[in-house]
Each structure stands twice: as C-alpha cells, then as structure tokens.
Structure 1
Amino acid sequence: MNGCLLKVKEAFDDLKPSEKKVASYILSFPEESVGLSVGELAQRCNTSNAAIIRFCKTLRFDGYRDFAIQMASDISSQKAEEDSYTDIQVGDDLETIIKNVSYNNKKSITDTLLVLDIEELKKAIAVLHSSKRIDFYGVGASGLIAQDAQQKFMRINRYSMAYTDTHLQATAAANLSAEDAAVFISYSGETRDIVETMEIAKKTRAKTISITKFGNNTLNSKADIKLFTASPETSMRSGASGSRIAQLNVIDILFSGLGSIEYSEIKKYLDRTRKVRAIKKFRD
C-alpha cells in the first residue's frame, strides 16, 4: 500500500471546493475511479480537467498519471475494514479499549510512513547535521514532543532547546541565525502562536522544518522542509494520542538518521550520558 487514498483522506479538509469534489468521488467510489482518464474523472466529478490536475499536484503527485498508477496499486492491496481506525466507545470493556487504543497508535505510525517524503527527511537530517543550534517549538501535546526531542539531542551533545511557552518561543526565535535550525511541531499546522514564531524565525534566515498532518496548512506553507504525519480522526482521542505517537516517531527517525551519520563522533557522548544516568538508578 503506497498511501494514495490515505493522502486524499488526510488532506480533504484543506482542499479547495473543486478539489473536494474530486476527493469525495474517489473516496466514495475508489474502485470505479481506477482506470478513468482525466476527462472521464472530471465528468463524473462535475468539474474540469484543470481541477483534476491541481488536485493531484496538491497531494504532491507528479501529475494525474502518477496519481492514477498509485491509486490502482492502493486499491489492489487495501482492505478497508482492516485498515480503518477504531473509535473508542463509551462503555467499552477494558480488553476492547486496550486493543483499540493499541491498534490506533500502531496504525498512526504505519500511516505516517506512507505520507513521509524520504527526500524531505534527507534534507531535514542534513540541516540538523550542519546546524550549530537546534530549537524545537510546540504547544500543548506537541510541546511534549518538543521536550522529548530536546532530551534526545542533548544526549549527543547537540545544542538544543525545547520551547513550549509562547513568549519564550518568540524570544528564542528572534535570536536564531542562518547557521541554526528550528523545528515546529503542530498536528493541525494552524496553531497561531507556532505559525507566528515560525515567521519570526524566517526573518533570521534559520532553516525551518515543520511537522504537521498531511496536506496544505499555514505552517508547512512557510517551512523550508515539510514533514508529515497521519493519525486517526476519532471522537475520543485520549489527548491527541494518535498524533502524539506519530510525531514522536518522526522525531525518533530524525534523531536516528542524524546519529547514523555522526556515530563515530557522538558515541562518546552516548557513553558518557549512559554512565551518568546509571548513577541515578538504585541498581545498574
């Protein structure tokens, strides 16, 4: 499964009206959509050929042919009932809750792998590798992800800070430089304080990386490098747990990717911090 239909679902709310017509038809009649020409699909969606092409470009496909090929592959491999997220219902027994929460968290990681662009990941890791300072910005649940990132990167002696207070975010961003990197975390990509902080960071010429849901949003439209996550849209999400798990996974990928190319240099720091942390334990 290459995530074609997943991308349509994730980006749906951010699409333009003419593009939503296309998305609605494809999601309602995925098998019927396979093999249609641009003109045939436009006719069934009651829109234009140009709208179909824009729709494909919005979803980051090279064109309609690329989209059609990947959608056909999706249809042949996807089992909708098995691949759907499961909402948590009031009154569920504990065994059902354990199963559904665990499944949704696992699926958020699996789906995130389908919307992550490996070339963008390579760019992000290269930027982190060359940066003197790495800042992480987030509020609420995304702020916890920023703090997790800080402690990971501190372990390898990279100058990094996590900012979750909006006033401190603005102050820190104003003091970035062209040699620094700033990572902005927001599932919706529409958190006003995070967007405003990125605008401040952009003025310093720091490299900016966004981690948001797939699709067009205000935050990733301003970022130099765009990384995407996917998570369940269920009514009882337990504090945005799905998006949090997906964001943590992206941070782990960035950290591991950087660690891989810097391992000979950072091994001594990992050993040092491991020894220091061992002292804090009652037993080694």
Structure 2
Amino acid sequence: MDDMRNLLEQIRQRLDDLNKAERKVAEIILQDPQQATGCSIAALAQAAGVSEPTVNRFCRTLNVSGYPALKLQLAQSLVGGAAYVSQAVEADDRPEAYVRKIFGSTIASLESTCKTLDPQLIDKAVDLLTQARQIHFFGLGASASVALDAQYKFFRFNLAVAAQSDVLMQRMLASVAHTGDLFVIISYTGRTRELVEVARLARGNGASVLGLTAADSPLARACTLSLNLPLREDTDIYMPMTSRIIQLAVLDVLAAGVTLRRGVDFRPHLRKIKESLAQTRYPADDDVAEE
C-alpha cells in the first residue's frame, strides 16, 4: 500500500511531532475524516480554530502539495472495506501488518489521552467516587462491558456498586435517585439519547453524574462533571476498539485514585478480598495432574 493510501495513519503517527496549531487541524481530521474530505480550507480552519495558512503549513508538514491534494489523499485513505473494522487497517494488510497497526493505534490513543486528561478533573472525580453513598455504572453497547468491569473494580472499596446496561433499568434507577448517589455514565460519543436523558433525570433528583465521554457532547453538558475523552475513532462507522481500551484505562486511574485517597488503613480490607480467592486457584508452582 503506497503512502497516499496511508495518510490517516501518517497523521496519527505524527500527532506528537506537530505544533499546537497543526495538532488541532490533525485532530479535527481524525475525528471525522469523511467530513474533512468535503470541507473547504476555510471551513476546516474554522472548525480547528486556526488560520488558513496553518492548514497549508500542516499540508507541507505531511509532504502534501496543498489542501486539494490533502483532501484527495484523505478520500483514498478511506477507500476499502477494512476501514469499517478499524481506521488503522487497510484492505490488503497481512496479519503481521494489522497486528502491528492495531496495537500501535491503541498505544498512540492511550498516550494521547494521558496527555489530555486534566489532573484537577481526575481529583474532582475521585472526590465524587469516595463521597458517594452508592455508585451506578451505566453503559450501552461496547461501553456496557466497561461498566461491568468498573463494578468489579469499585466494589472492593466497600461501596454499594452496581452496573446496568439495560436502558429501562437505568431509567428506573435514575428516577428514584437521591442526593449522595453517583451515576457514572460511560459513552464514547456522548450522543446516545437514552443516556443523556438518564443523566438529566438523575441530576433532577439530586444525584451527581460523572461522565466518561466526549468533550462538549450532549452527555458531557448534562453531567455534574465530565472527564473528556478524545474522539480518535468514528464509531458511527468503525467497530469500537481503542475507545473501549481508553475507557478501561481511565477507570483504572480512578480506581487508583480512590485507593490512594482511602490511605494505608484501607489496605487490610483489600488484602482480605485478595486472600479470599486463594483457595480457588492452584498454586503457581504446582503440577496439576491430568484427569
């Protein structure tokens, strides 16, 4: 596959090398490559909050002759059915290529998210989690398994924790929410109508709502606090991959924050849970006879 067909991959790989203004252009393109192919240079510059000369400099950084050529190469990058599995994969990739690309894309997404997360917002999110009377983790679709993983993590902190992926149950729980309840709503796009309505309903009843979602999305605006996660894959088109891994990593960060906030006196409780599992496993150095 020639370089023209790999423009999107080039942009992802060079994100950290771009200056602040050029990075804004790159992120707008990566958020919606299809839309970028139909934008004028003025429209793209406005969407990124930069000048038109900055867009032209971005083109030259990628060794592209100009904006019309950039749009052409973007369109060529989107050709092929494999794009609907992952933006990083091309239709004629061999196993060694798509293994490297999927892992590379995931690593790049994690690094990008790490740099954009606001430590002050993380600290406020940990406040909400440690002060909550009970916590509900909500997710739909690919985010449902993330919500369930959060339940497994956070019950260890001696909190009343539950995960729900059924829209009707989510709505009923939000309708009977109280002050002291925390609803953690996980949504990559933040545009799922049912989850936005649940967030509004819960807050209307006095509960706090923490969102793990896209900045300035309807869900982010409906939450008490939102941890804004970058949109690096279009899940309207592509199968969710890196987005799910980012959500899991952010929940690990929050779990670590709660652990540290509880302090050393809480460690015996965590150790007791771990020790309860000892009898369910074969010792690591034992040979197990075949049956």
TM-score (norm 2): 0.70
Q: Within 5 A, what are the aligned runs for 1:252-271?
A: 252-271=252-271
Letter of the aligned partner of 2:170 in structure 1? Q
Equivalent residue pairs, number? 231
Q: Is the 8 A contact 2:188 2:213 kept in 1?
A: yes
Q: Within 5 A, what are the aligned runs for 1:3-82?
A: 9=27, 21-23=45-47, 26=50, 29-30=53-54
Q: Which runs of 5+ in 1 are unaligned?
A: 35-84
Q: Is the 8 A contact 1:133 1:160 kept in 2?
A: yes
1:212 paired with 2:184, answer no
Q: Is the 8 A contact 1:3 1:115 kept in 2?
A: no
CA distance, structure 2, for counterparts of residue 106 and residue 232 of structure 1: 12
1:145 paired with 2:146, answer yes
Letter of the aligned partner of 2:278 in structure 1? A
Letter of the aligned partner of 1:120 in structure 2? L
Structure 1 outlier segments of 4+, above 6 Å: 31-34, 234-238
Structure 1 position 208, deviation (Å): 1.0
Q: Deviations over 1:163-188 (max 9, x none)?
A: 11111111122222111211111010
CA distance, structure 2, for counterparts of residue 204 and residue 129 of structure 1: 20
CA distance, structure 2, for counterparts of residue 91 and residue 230 of structure 1: 28
Q: Deviations over 1:206-265 (max 9, x none)?
A: 11111112x311000111111022253379987311100111111111110111010334
Q: Is the 8 A contact 2:233 2:240 kept in 1?
A: no
Q: Over aligned residues, Cα RMSD in angstroms?
A: 3.2
| Identity across matched positions, percent | 26
CA distance, structure 1, for counterparts of residue 252 and residue 159 of structure 2: 15
Q: Which runs of 5+ in 2 are unaligned?
A: 1-15, 33-39, 59-85, 285-291
Letter of the aligned partner of 1:278 in structure 2? A
Letter of the aligned partner of 1:22 in structure 2? Q
CA distance 1:242–1:187, shift in 2 (3 Å):
same
CA distance, structure 2, for counterparts of residue 128 and residue 103 of structure 1: 32
CA distance, structure 2, for counterparts of residue 126 and residue 233 of structure 1: 30
Q: Within 5 A, what are the aligned runs for 1:1-284?
A: 9=27, 21-23=45-47, 26=50, 29-30=53-54, 87-213=88-214, 215-233=215-233, 239-283=239-283
CA distance, structure 2, for counterparts of residue 91 and residue 183 of structure 1: 40
CA distance 1:159–1:197, shift in 2 (3 Å):
same
Give the number of the structure whose alpha-carbon radius of gyration is greater. 2
Structure 1 position 33, deviation (Å): 7.7
Structure 1 position 278, deviation (Å): 2.2
SS at match of 2:276: helix
Q: Is the 8 A contact 2:24 2:48 kept in 1?
A: no
CA distance, structure 1, for counterparts of residue 51 and residue 272 of structure 2: 52
Q: Is the 8 A contact 2:189 2:217 kept in 1?
A: yes
